[in-house]
Amino acid sequence: MKAFLTILFIISFQSLLSQRLIPDAAKVKSAFEMLVVDTSNKALQRSYVDSFPSNTKSFLNVFQTKHFDQLYNESYNYLDQFEKCGNAYPKEVLGKCINIGKNLVWDADAVGQLQQISVKLSAEYPEIFINDYKTLSAKDQNGLVNFYADVENFNEYPEFQELINKLNLMSQSVISSKLESARKKRKMSKDH
């Protein structure tokens, strides 16, 4: 019995150690926990947006780790709140989405959810999208376009076409053409 309790203690202790959050994840979790108490509080929304990862590496380390730890298991809740904060802070939220997404390749879970949020907000706030897009290097623009277009079923992705339509209405055919080309290339890929 004593050996069993010792083994149980060791397993529990190792489990606790593996759940230790990295600083970026702890910051996001703390701001999230304050926000969910009062989701209408603009100051708490801003604090959460500010705590959210600003680049691809940090985003993946917090929400989509190779070991499925950190905030992976609840990433959808964190991303849902991040998207909702986009109503009050569209420039800041979309800016982070673009900065993170420019170096991402589609994956399930948090990456896929971020892709949907990014394209949806880009279609809702095309002026912000255009301004942020134009500040990117050509390499990062291509990365972002490919990330936006990396889906299996465009029929279930109306926000993508909505973004293209709005860009065309705003005389941004260079950007919309890149999105259309990326979609065509994706549809022709063998894994589509």
Q: Give the per-residue pLDDT at 1.
A: 54
Q: Does residue 44 surpass a pLDDT of 90?
A: yes
φ, ψ of residue 78 to 5 degrees: the values are -65, -40
70-112 residue pLDDT tens: 999 999 999 999 999 999 999 999 999 999 999 999 888 999 9
| Residue 152: pLDDT band with limits 50, 70, 90 | confident
Residue 114's contacts (CB-CB under 8 Å, 6 or more residues apart) are 59, 79, 97, 100, 101, 104
Residue the block writes with tokens 């339509």? 165
Q: Give the per-residue pLDDT at 6.
A: 44
104-131 residue pLDDT tens: 998 889 999 999 999 999 999 999 999 9
Q: Does residue 4 surpass a pLDDT of 60?
A: no
Residue 90's contacts (CB-CB under 8 Å, 6 or more residues apart) are 121, 124, 125, 128
pTM metric for this prediction: 0.87
Distance between terminal CA atoms of the chain? 55
